[in-house]
Structure 1
Amino acid sequence: MAVPADPPPVVDATAEMVAAAYEDNKLAQVLYHDWEAQTYDDKWSISFDERCVEYARDRFEAIVGDVHEPLPYATALELGAGTGFFSLNLKQAGVLDEVHVTDLSPGMVEAAKANAEALGFTVQGRVADAERIPYDDNTFDVVVGHAVIHHIPDVEAAFREMLRVLKPGGRFVVAGEPTTIGDWYARRLGQLTWKATTAITHLPPLRDTWARDREALDESSRAAALEAVVDLHTFDPADLAAMAQRAGAVDVRTRTEELTAAFLGWPIRTFEAAVKPGVLGWGWAMFAYGSWKRLSAVDRLLARAVPARFFYNVGITGVKPS
């Protein structure tokens, strides 16, 4: 196994670098995710408690299905780890043992390592491009990712790299990727909610209590503009499976989730981002999570009749031939 190097310091973006990012997607990915690293967990309600441990474990199990492989996987690599949401919660769930995290963003690697340390364990972290993973062949028992491959320019190359670093018989599991139809309606729901919320909260009766200040809104707008640059793909489940098979994976399967849950979840997430931090409280968080869980149960029933391409999230798993 290649020896992980300490990640370089977080990039301090200049105006010139931000302008250049619109022409250089790799730079855009680094700048945007470095920018997001310090607030990402709050933005997406990420935690490392039972709520998110259960969520991560359930996503993993739903994608893998009825395959009974011994747990924990001894060596695991997370690609595009962000702040470590997927791998660290899977480790707490007993699914993973030794964890290595990688991300193109130095800021995200540092955040994931800090989150692991706060949980009482250590992970190895490297700044790495998923199209050229800096680990030796046949290194890992499992490669995981969450909401990552839609950021990668050459997704098929990333699948080939996952298979290269996996041991024979090893598995990759990627969750939380946007479907083409799901992304279409989610973005429109988000745009409508943002416009309505910012308009209403800036009315005089609510402005002091609910409205985010103008500087925060301007920064959110700048982040949203760069987000449109770093979100490169949406997926049709069948096309995604074919891509992994062309890369050399066997036993490939996809699983879609969130239909009614997405129609609720995207307005909720957008509303939370549009109001002043701290005004909603724990009761709101429990309402939002409980509502999402109930609608997710409805969606599991709808999956028997509704075509997979209409759901918002798609996950995929495959195995390296023995």
Structure 2
Amino acid sequence: MSDAVVDPPPNPHATAEQVKAAYADPKLANVLYHDWEAGTYDEKWSISYDERCISYATDVFDAVAGEDGQPYPTAMELGSGTGFFLLNLMQGGVIKKGSVTDLSPGMVRVALRNAEKLGLDVDGRVADAERIPYPDNTFDLVVGHAVLHHIPDVPAALREVLRVLKPGGRFVFAGEPTKIGDFYARKLGQLTWWLTTNVTKFGPLSAWRRPQEELDESSRAAALEAVVDIHTFDPGDLERMARGAGATEVRAVTEEFAAALAGWPIRTFEAAVPAEKLTVRWRLFAYHLWLRLSALDKKILARVLPRQLFYNVMITGVKRP
């Protein structure tokens, strides 16, 4: 990696022509969509860098990869977004030094700003997952959260991940949608959006309706989101894909069934109403409901339901020594 390489600047205000072109170019769509979302992404998805999200990130990591090897001396997050997964894993003691990479310059900028605020040792690059700009055998660990489903050529990206890993190094990807989970989550989201935006047109409930220009903007974003979300995964197929890329010790685990059935309508409702209506009491209710349903998923439903029914799939693998 040359020090002379300068990453492109963020473009949070895409033109109509750029958006039109993005419908035929998933990578351009990802850049435009995520540059536009970068400044508000953490708020939209209730991302924080405190005990709540530290516990979530470390629990997810340990569920698929276990605790052996921690702390990892060096790690890279692929498609880091604002740094949610890497930064919380660093705070949780899983990783010592990190690097953030994303196709969106806006996301890399926000991730580095978040890392600086937290006092974490992190660098970053704008990076195409199919051509990662780091030398062979650089990292002990590569992680990603909700990134693989955005990448056009997932096998190529997995080969690149294995290339930049040191021999014996591990990758962990989490937060990827399953085929069945994505189907019911989208249907629940669409129904919730339609009900909320229509019911709040009338009478005393109109105070719960977001301004029309914000709803229009959200609708345009949702339309572009359909372009950036390229894949859904069957857990077994994802395992075979990782082995085909050259990984060993491959294992996929799924999570969130009851939690997803409640979580998607709640998140969609929150996107459709004014932010000031979402009180601390509401947010605590939503969070504790998610905790209870996640516990139900882990302790009971994961034992009796096929893993394909759950919304999220996580996968890990190791580069051959």
Gaps of 5+ in 1: none
The one-letter code of the counterpart of 1:78 is E
CA distance in structure 2 between the partners assigned to 1:22 and 1:234 by the alignment:
19
What is residue 45 of structure 2 aligned with on the other side? Answer: 44
Q: Is the 8 A contact 1:139 1:166 kept in 2?
A: yes
What is residue 17 of structure 1 aligned with on the other side? Answer: 18
Q: Is the 8 A contact 1:73 1:141 kept in 2?
A: yes
| Percentage of identical aligned residues | 66
CA distance in structure 2 between the partners assigned to 1:179 and 1:265 by the alignment:
16
What is residue 308 of structure 1 aligned with on the other side? Answer: 307
What is residue 261 of structure 2 aligned with on the other side? Answer: 263
Which range moves more in the overlay, 83-92 or 6-15? 6-15
CA distance in structure 2 between the partners assigned to 1:141 and 1:310 by the alignment:
32
1:263-282 to structure 2, matched below 5 A, reads: 263-282=261-280
Q: How far off is 1:204 after superposition?
A: 2.1
Q: How far off is 1:14 after superposition?
A: 1.3
Q: Is the 8 A contact 1:13 1:31 kept in 2?
A: yes
Q: Among residues 292, 296, 299, which one is paired with 2:297 in the alignment?
A: 299
CA distance in structure 2 between the partners assigned to 1:4 and 1:130 by the alignment:
21
What is residue 106 of structure 1 aligned with on the other side? Answer: 105
The one-letter code of the counterpart of 2:190 is Q
The one-letter code of the counterpart of 1:62 is A
Seen in structure 2, the aligned counterparts of structure 1 residues 34 and 263 have a Cα distance that, compared at 3 Å, is same
Deviations 1:267-296 (Å, cap 9, x if unpaired)? 111111111012111111111111111111
Seen in structure 2, the aligned counterparts of structure 1 residues 53 and 3 have a Cα distance that, compared at 3 Å, is farther
* Secondary structure of the corresponding residue to residue 39 of structure 1: helix
Gaps of 5+ in 2: none
Q: How far off is 1:122 after superposition?
A: 4.2
Q: How far off is 1:29 after superposition?
A: 0.9
Q: How far off is 1:121 after superposition?
A: 2.7
CA distance in structure 2 between the partners assigned to 1:152 and 1:4 by the alignment:
27
Seen in structure 2, the aligned counterparts of structure 1 residues 143 and 260 have a Cα distance that, compared at 3 Å, is same
Seen in structure 2, the aligned counterparts of structure 1 residues 4 and 90 have a Cα distance that, compared at 3 Å, is farther
TM-score for both structures, normalised by structure 1: 0.96
TM-score for both structures, normalised by structure 2: 0.97
Deviations 1:177-211 (Å, cap 9, x if unpaired)? 00000000000000011111111222220223x21
The one-letter code of the counterpart of 2:85 is F
Q: Is the 8 A contact 1:72 1:97 kept in 2?
A: yes
What is residue 250 of structure 1 aligned with on the other side? Answer: 248
Q: How far off is 1:120 after superposition?
A: 2.1
CA distance in structure 1 between the partners assigned to 2:210 and 2:8 by the alignment:
33
Q: How far off is 1:24 after superposition?
A: 1.5
CA distance in structure 2 between the partners assigned to 1:68 and 1:3 by the alignment:
34
CA distance in structure 1 between the partners assigned to 2:134 and 2:3 by the alignment:
8
Q: How far off is 1:6 after superposition?
A: 5.0
What is residue 206 of structure 1 aligned with on the other side? Answer: 205
What is residue 170 of structure 2 aligned with on the other side? Answer: 171
The one-letter code of the counterpart of 1:178 is P
What is residue 235 of structure 2 aligned with on the other side? Answer: 237
* Secondary structure of the corresponding residue to residue 317 of structure 1: strand
The one-letter code of the counterpart of 2:130 is E
C-alpha RMSD of the superposition: 1.3
* Secondary structure of the corresponding residue to residue 10 of structure 1: coil
What is residue 196 of structure 1 aligned with on the other side? Answer: 195
CA distance in structure 2 between the partners assigned to 1:113 and 1:235 by the alignment:
30
Which range moves more in the overlay, 23-32 or 115-124? 115-124
The one-letter code of the counterpart of 1:223 is A
Q: Is the 8 A contact 1:7 1:109 kept in 2?
A: no
Matched, 1:83 2:82: yes
What is residue 319 of structure 1 aligned with on the other side? Answer: 318
Q: Among residues 204, 223, 226, which one is paired with 1:225 in the alignment?
A: 223
The one-letter code of the counterpart of 1:245 is R
CA distance in structure 2 between the partners assigned to 1:19 and 1:266 by the alignment:
28
